[in-house]
C-alpha cells in the first residue's frame, strides 16, 4: 500500500470511529483554547524577552522597560498555568470520549450478534476493550488538540514576525509548513512499518518462543529443538530488520524538524540583517524576528508524535469498527418476536464456528422444564459449541434451534428470558459472594442467596465462613476450592430468571467423589421445575439420573448421526 493510500485509509478509519467518541465541540474548543494560550505564552515570552534584552542593551530609562518586564513575568507564570488547564481540559475530553466509546461498544454488542464476541479469543476481547479503546480515546489529547494548537500558534508566530518583516514571516511560514507536514508523514511511515508491518514478525517470534518454552524437553528428545531455535533466531532477525527500516524515517522526521528550525532562524537573521542595513528594521526588532521562530517550532514539533498516535488510533479504530460491523444485526424494523412456552428445540441441527466445517450434524434435541439432558463426548467433539448454539450465542451451521418457539437467529433480547448458559471458565468476580450471585439478577436478597446456595450444596460451606454472604472471593478474597467455585457458578445460574440451564463441564477438575456429588445435585434440579442440560466428560454410567444422554463420541465413526440414549423421566 502506498503512503497516500495508507493515509487515506487511516483518515477513513478515524472518521468512522469519531462519532462513537461523542466528543463535545464546546469541551474540545475549551481544550484547544487553553493549549493555544499555553503555547502562545511561550511564543510571546520568546518575542518579549528578545525585545527586552535588545532594548535593555541600549540602556534606556527603566520606565521604558517596565511593561516588558511585567509581561515577561506574566507570560512565564501564564505558560505554566495555561499548560495545567490545557492538560485538565484535554484529558477530560479524552476520558469522556473513551467512556462514551466503551458504552457504545457494550450497547452495540449486547444487542447485536453474540457470535461477534464468542468467536474472539479472550486476549483479543481484552485488547479491544482495553488498549484499542484507550488508543482511540487518546486521539483527542495526543493528536487532535496538538494539531489544532500547532495550527493556531503557527499563525500567531507568523503574524508577529510578518508584522516586523513580511519576507521573514513568509520564510517562517514555509519552514513551519515543511516541519508540520514532512515530519508527521515520515513519523507515520516509521510507526506503520515498525508496529503495523512488524506485527507478523512479532507474532511469529511469540509463536516460536512459546513452542520452544512449552515443549523444550520433548523437542530435545525428538531432535527438533535446535532447528526450532534456528527458526526463532531467523524470526528475531526479521523483526530486527523491520525495526531498523522503521528507524530511518523516524530519525529523518526528527532531522526535518531540526533542519526547518535552523533554516528559519538563519533565514530570519540574513533577511533581518539586510533590512537592518537598509534601515527598514530596527535593531530591537531584529532580535524579535530572529528569536521568535525558536519558540514557534515548539508547536509543530509535537505533530510528529501526534501523527504516530493517529496511526495507532486508526489501526485500533479498524479493529473496533470491524467488531461492530460483525455484531450488527440486519435491520428488520421489528422488535423481537414474543417467545412462547419455555423450551429449546433443535431439529436437524449442525453446529460449528462461523467459517469452519461443522463439528457435528443431524442433532434432534428437546430441553424443557422438568427434564435433564447430559451431553458426553471427548475433547473436540463439539460439546461447548453445541451449548453456545442452543443458547443462541452462535448461529446454527444448518438446521434450526427454536427458543421459546422462535428461531434463535430471530432473537436479540428474548433468549435470556428462556435459557441461560454457564461456561466452563465463567468468571468469579473479586467481590462478595452475594454480589457474585447478583450478577445473575441484581435484586437477589440475602434469604434468596442462602436458599440457592443450599440448593447448590454450599449451605455448610456458607455456615463456616465468618462473614457469610459478605465474604470476598476471587483473586483478592478468600480461597475457594474448585468444587466450591463450580457450585457457586451453578447457584448463580439458578438465580437467573430463565427456567432452562445450560452448564458446561460443571464437574471439570474435581476429584471423582466431588464431581459425582455435583453432577447428581445438578441433575436433581429438574425436581424444582428447571430444565438442565449439562456437558461432561464422564460416561453414561455416571448419568443414570438424566432423562437423555447424548453421546457425541461416535460422530466421527458415523457422520451425521448423533446417538441418544433415551431414559425414562
pLDDT, tens digit (0-9, with 9 covering 90-100), for 395-423: 888 888 888 888 887 776 657 778 888 88
Reply yes or no on whether the pLDDT at 560 is more than 60: no
Q: What is the pLDDT of residue 478?
A: 61
Q: What is the pLDDT of residue 48?
A: 87
Q: pTM of this prediction?
A: 0.64
Grid coordinates representing 257 are 524538524
Q: Are 438 and 496 in contact (CB under 8 A)?
A: no
Grid coordinates representing 492 are 448463580
Grid coordinates representing 436 are 457474585
Domain ranges for the chain, please list them: 17-327, 344-566
Would you place residue 563 in the very low, low, confident or very high pLDDT band (cuts 50, 70, 90)? very low
Which numeric CATH code is attached to 344-566?
Answer: 3.40.50.300
CA distance 179 to 183: 5
Burial class of residue 254 (count of CB atoms within 10 Å of its CB; 0-12, 13-18, 19+):
middle
Higher pLDDT pick, 336 / 168: 168
Reply yes or no on whether the pLDDT at 489 is more than 70: yes
DSSP class per residue in 315-344: HHHHHHHHHHHHHPPPP-SSPPPPP-SS-E
Extract the runs of DSSP E, i.e. beta strands, from 251-371: 344-351, 360-367
Most confident option among 113-122, 201-210, 316-325: 316-325
Q: What is the pLDDT of residue 509?
A: 67
Would you place residue 564 in the very low, low, confident or very high pLDDT band (cuts 50, 70, 90)? very low
Extract the runs of DSSP E, i.e. beta strands, from 416-509: 419-422, 431-432, 472-473, 500-504
CA distance 470 to 453: 14
CA distance 398 to 468: 48
What average pLDDT does range 115-131 have in this prediction?
64
DSSP 194: I
- Give the burial string for 445-466 (b: 16+ CB within 10 Å, else e): eeebbbebbebbbbeebbeeee
Of 55-59, 78-82, 116-120, 514-518, where does mean pLDDT reach its minimum?
116-120
Q: Are 508 and 517 in contact (CB under 8 A)?
A: no
Reply yes or no on whether the pLDDT at 348 is more than 60: yes
Reply yes or no on whether the pLDDT at 84 is more than 90: yes
Would you place residue 77 in the very low, low, confident or very high pLDDT band (cuts 50, 70, 90)? very high
Would you place residue 167 in the very low, low, confident or very high pLDDT band (cuts 50, 70, 90)? very high
Q: What is the pLDDT of residue 476?
A: 57
Share of the chain above pLDDT 70, in %: 85
Most confident option among 28-42, 448-462, 478-492: 28-42
Which has the closest alpha carbon to 82: 44, 134, 49? 44
Q: What is the pLDDT of residues 125-143, one digit of tens each?
A: 666 777 788 888 888 888 8
Grid coordinates representing 556 are 466421527
Q: Rg of the chain over CA atoms, in angstroms? A: 33
Q: What is the pLDDT of residues 259-269, one digit of tens each?
A: 898 999 899 88
Q: What is the pLDDT of residues 175-231, one digit of tens each?
A: 999 888 888 887 777 776 666 556 556 656 766 777 777 777 777 777 778 888 888
Q: Are 523 and 372 in contact (CB under 8 A)?
A: yes
Q: Same topology for domains 17-327 and 344-566, yes or no?
A: no
Q: What is the pLDDT of residue 566?
A: 41
> Top-level CATH class of 17-327?
mainly alpha
CA distance 404 to 551: 25
Q: What is the pLDDT of residues 349-363, one digit of tens each?
A: 888 877 778 888 888
Helical spans, DSSP H, in 401-441: 433-437
Would you place residue 271 in the very low, low, confident or very high pLDDT band (cuts 50, 70, 90)? very high
CA distance 494 to 512: 24
Which has the closest alpha carbon to 464: 430, 433, 439, 494? 433
For residue 403, what is the enclosing H or E element?
strand 398-403
CA distance 172 to 176: 6
Q: Tell me the HSE value of 481 on the side-chain side, using a 13 A CA sphere.
A: 11
CA distance 92 to 413: 34
Amino acid at each position: 500500500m502506498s503512503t497516500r493510500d495508507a493515509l487515506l485509509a487511516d483518515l477513513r478509519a478515524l472518521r468512522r470511529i469519531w462519532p462513537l467518541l461523542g466528543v463535545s465541540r464546546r469541551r474540545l474548543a475549551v481544550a484547544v483554547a487553553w493549549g493555544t494560550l499555553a503555547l502562545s505564552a511561550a511564543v510571546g515570552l520568546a518575542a518579549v524577552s528578545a525585545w527586552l534584552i535588545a532594548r535593555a542593551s541600549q540602556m534606556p530609562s527603566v520606565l521604558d522597560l517596565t511593561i516588558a518586564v511585567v509581561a515577561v513575568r506574566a507570560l512565564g507564570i501564564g505558560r505554566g498555568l495555561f499548560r495545567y488547564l490545557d492538560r485538565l481540559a484535554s484529558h477530560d475530553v479524552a476520558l469522556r470520549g473513551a467512556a462514551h466509546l466503551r458504552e457504545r461498544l457494550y450497547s452495540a454488542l449486547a444487542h447485536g450478534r453474540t457470535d461477534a464476541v464468542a468467536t474472539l479469543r479472550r486476549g483479543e476481547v481484552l485488547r479491544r476493550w482495553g488498549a484499542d479503546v484507550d488508543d482511540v480515546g487518546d486521539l483527542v489529547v495526543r493528536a487532535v488538540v496538538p494539531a489544532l494548537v500547532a495550527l493556531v500558534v503557527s499563525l500567531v508566530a507568523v503574524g508577529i514576525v510578518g508584522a516586523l518583516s513580511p519576507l521573514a514571516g513568509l520564510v517562517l511560514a514555509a519552514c513551519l509548513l515543511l516541519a508540520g507536514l514532512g515530519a508527521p508523514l515520515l513519523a507515520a511511515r516509521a510507526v506503520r512499518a515498525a508496529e503495523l508491518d512488524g506485527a507478523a514478525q512479532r507474532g511469529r517470534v511469540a509463536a516460536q518462543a512459546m513452542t520452544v518454552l512449552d515443549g523444550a524437553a520433548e523437542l530435545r528428545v525428538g531432535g527438533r529443538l535446535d532447528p526450532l531455535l534456528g527458526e526463532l533466531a531467523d524470526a528475531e532477525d526479521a523483526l530486527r530488520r523491520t525495526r531498523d527500516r522503521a528507524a530511518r524515517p523516524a530519525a529523518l522526521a526528527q532531522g526535518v524538524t531540526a533542519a526547518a528550525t535552523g533554516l528559519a532562524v538563519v533565514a530570519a537573521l540574513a533577511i533581518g540583517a539586510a533590512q537592518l542595513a537598509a534601515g527598514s528594521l530596527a535593531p530591537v526588532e531584529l532580535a524579535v524576528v530572529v528569536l521568535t521562530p525558536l519558540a514557534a517550532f515548539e508547536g509543530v514539533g509535537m505533530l510528529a508524535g501526534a501523527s504516530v498516535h493517529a496511526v495507532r488510533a486508526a489501526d485500533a479504530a479498524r479493529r473496533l469498527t470491524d467488531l461492530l460491523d460483525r455484531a450488527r444485526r440486519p435491520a428488520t424494523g421489528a422488535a423481537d418476536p414474543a417467545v412462547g412456552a419455555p423450551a429449546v428445540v433443535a431439529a436437524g441441527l449442525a453446529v460449528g464456528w462461523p467459517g469452519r466445517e461443522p463439528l457435528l450434524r443431524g442433532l434432534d434435541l428437546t430441553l424443557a422444564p422438568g427434564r435433564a439432558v447430559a451431553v458426553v463426548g471427548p475433547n473436540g467433539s463439539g460439546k461447548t459449541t453445541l451449548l453456545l448454539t442452543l443458547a443462541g450465542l452462535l448461529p446454527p451451521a444448518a438446521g434450526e434451534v427454536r427458543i421459546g418457539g422462535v428461531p434463535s437467529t430471530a432473537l436479540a433480547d428474548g433468549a435470556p428470558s428462556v435459557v441461560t448458559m454457564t461456561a466452563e471458565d465463567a468468571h468469579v468476580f473479586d467481590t462478595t459472594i452475594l454480589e457474585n450471585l447478583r450478577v445473575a439478577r441484581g435484586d437477589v436478597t440475602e434469604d434468596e442467596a442462602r436458599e440457592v446456595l443450599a440448593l447448590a450444596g454450599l449451605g455448610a460451606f456458607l455456615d463456616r465462613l465468618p462473614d457469610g454472604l459478605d465474604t470476598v472471593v476471587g483473586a483478592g478474597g478468600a480461597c475457594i476450592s474448585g468444587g466450591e467455585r463450580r457450585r457457586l457458578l451453578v447457584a448463580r445460574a439458578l438465580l437467573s430468571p430463565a427456567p432452562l440451564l445450560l452448564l458446561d463441564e460443571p464437574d471439570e477438575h474435581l476429584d471423582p467423589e466431588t464431581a459425582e456429588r455435583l453432577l447428581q445435585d445438578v441433575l436433581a434440579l429438574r425436581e424444582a421445575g428447571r430444565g438442565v442440560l449439562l456437558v461432561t466428560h464422564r460416561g453414561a454410567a455416571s448419568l443414570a439420573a438424566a432423562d437423555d444422554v447424548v453421546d457425541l463420541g461416535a460422530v466421527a465413526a458415523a457422520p451425521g448421526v448423533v446417538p441418544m440414549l433415551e431414559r425414562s423421566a
